[in-house]
Structure 1
């Protein structure tokens, strides 16, 4: 990455991690706070689900336009505008009627997606081919921790009053601080003749996007249905929630080592290995759910599933640069929208059709599709890349 004088690659990575981590705390907090408030105020489940879908819809709608907007506006200025929109959105949600939360949730999701687009582009550009897997492993670990921190605030603040909203707003405002110390060069992200663009990236890297999409589908289905799966298999609510939480600890502990393995061994091999282990461990839930062994299974399952995200991002950083990389991070953000909109309905329909055991089968199915695609393409995540 061409950085301005006095600005180090490490400095840009740290600033981007700090910025996105602070905002991710607020994102995790609102993801639980808003449904709880809507439920308390008597809104039906379908309306709560529709409100939750507004965020992914915002990400999907914005994705194709973000690379061009960021190219014209500049990354740092874009992030400052995003932070302003996030603060205004949270302040408005805290004080306006619930029906207004739907468009506000749309803009909150759109802005959050844009923040991830810029942050991931900064991080991938500042990392090198020698350490990109480890850096993205660290990034994934950070997101696991900060996202989980948000809901942990609610038992302390409660869901009433301005306090939980205020804490979310403060976290977002804190994201400005790292930006004051590091300057990011925008010249490399300027669009030029021959730039891939959003849809051009999708055409060039469908397998890379599905590798990342498999992780987003897995994440949304696991969060939506694992607790229900545990309860219907005899676990207490508290135990089922803690088993789900152990997956977050697994991501924290194992994402960086998996990134290290991708750097020192083979990105392709880690992709194959993690996908195969995700299939095996997902299916093993059918056997271990009522046994103590569910704890180590879940601790390994979650980071293995997310390893495809780590390797996919690292590969994207290896293969794409400048405005093409920005288009790629926009497409990745859109995959989170796809995961949020498709994953839970698909799993819910499978459960209605075949019973609760369809949940782990659905998780495995996402990665069976990934393995089939990898075998067909010879492990190439990007079209035109060597089979190597």
Structure 2
């Protein structure tokens, strides 16, 4: 408890920030649809957002190094507020592409500030508790943001004003803290080839998470709007998926501690395919939201399991680099998929979104099943204890290595390189 008190102001700012972020993440596709933008343009704007997220991961550490964490947090929040207010005033789609890119840059930078600050306050003994508390706050705040969409009509300024209000309030706890901010963030090299070399399964899982879960955040509300009468029905749709991912992440994570994580990833892919098809089949049925809940339970934990799979085979000095590669590969998938899926929805109907999810999950499940033919370089007993991570709307954990000192047992990097030359899957 004493450790958590040292980061109270930061966690409070995180909660306020992610309530506003969760609200705008669902609000913007709905507003775009209301103004008459096509599914293709909505998908294009979502891709722009995730491209901004990638750019932020690469560029923001340089800015934080120059101005520090507190001023960096305030500046990035101000950029996000201005972008959202501009999005409310404009319905010109090229402007939306630029503004959504800026929101992606800003939120990526804010995650970098928050996670590097938490990491500086964490000890090997407290790291797990801090990460778990941060993840819980992330999921609850994002869920709360979904229900605030109903404060006013989507075509009014009220939801935008509320989202920016929460973002502005997030500056206060951090701005008023008397605790010293950490040292500037060091830039991290991104090597997808190293991630693939260490674990093809983690590579595939990170990409799948972006393709499916990232697209769900981008186009899920548009899908729900096509089959909903009221805004509250859209809220329940998004909340059911987020709730499923939040409630089952820990049980699935604990299961992955006891068996080969590659098997867990493969089973999640199969479950994702089945539940995606069930969502598409159950539109208008009494069990529709139950299927959405199960879809979230299968798909949203894939990012966390992929991160844990990568951590299992990372040398201590490699974790931040490999974890950042997992995050960015996830963002690459989320930037690529909305474009073709949005066009497919426009041509074949909204239900094509979940049929596409089913096909993608099946293909990745087949790839992961092939990896099971090869033994791993570590045993199940040597796997890193699972720690929850956020969903694709708020990814968590590349700065916060979930392993304490006692868990940092993978072979040194040079030994892992030798093992990578064998026929073993990591």
Same fold (TM over 0.5): yes
Matches within 5 A, 1:357-372: 357-372=355-370
Aligned counterpart, 2:45: 51
Cα distance, 1:293–1:50 mapped onto 2, change above 3 Å: closer
1:219 aligns with 2:213: yes
Aligned counterpart, 1:62: 56
Can you list the C-alpha shifts for 1:115-170, whole angstroms capped at 9, x where unaligned?
Answer: 12333344456556677667656544544443343343232222344432221121
Structure 2: gaps of 5 or more residues: 384-409, 420-424
Alpha-carbon distance, 1:70 to partner? 3.3
Aligned counterpart, 2:195: 205
Aligned counterpart, 2:391: none
Aligned counterpart, 1:4: none
TM-score by length of 1: 0.72
Aligned counterpart, 2:240: 246
- In the alignment, is the contact (CA less than 8 A) between 2:21 and 2:145 conserved in 1? yes
Can you list the C-alpha shifts for 1:187-229, whole angstroms capped at 9, x where unaligned?
Answer: 48446xxxxx3224x3432444543332232213445677898
TM-score by length of 2: 0.67
Can you list the C-alpha shifts for 1:316-356, whole angstroms capped at 9, x where unaligned?
Answer: 7785779x766556545533432322233455688879x94
Alpha-carbon distance, 1:79 to partner? 1.9
1:334 aligns with 2:328: yes
Matches within 5 A, 1:1-388: 9-11=3-5, 14-95=8-89, 98=92, 99-123=94-118, 136=131, 139-179=134-174, 180-181=176-177, 183=179, 186-187=182-183, 189-190=185-186, 197-200=188-191, 202-206=192-196, 207=199, 208-223=202-217, 242=236, 245-259=239-253, 265=257, 269-270=260-261, 272-283=263-274, 286=277, 289-290=281-282, 298-313=292-307, 319=314, 330-345=324-339, 356=352, 357-372=355-370, 378=376, 384=416
Q: How far apart are the structure 2 equivalents of 1:226 and 1:155?
A: 17
Q: How far apart are the structure 2 equivalents of 1:236 and 1:97?
A: 23
Structure 1: gaps of 5 or more residues: 1-6, 192-196
- In the alignment, is the contact (CA less than 8 A) between 1:215 and 1:308 conserved in 2? yes
- In the alignment, is the contact (CA less than 8 A) between 1:280 and 1:364 conserved in 2? no
Moved more, 335-344 or 111-120: 335-344
Cα distance, 1:301–1:378 mapped onto 2, change above 3 Å: farther
Can you list the C-alpha shifts for 1:1-42, whole angstroms capped at 9, x where unaligned?
Answer: xxxxxx964246655443333223223333343344444444
CA RMSD of aligned residues (A): 4.5
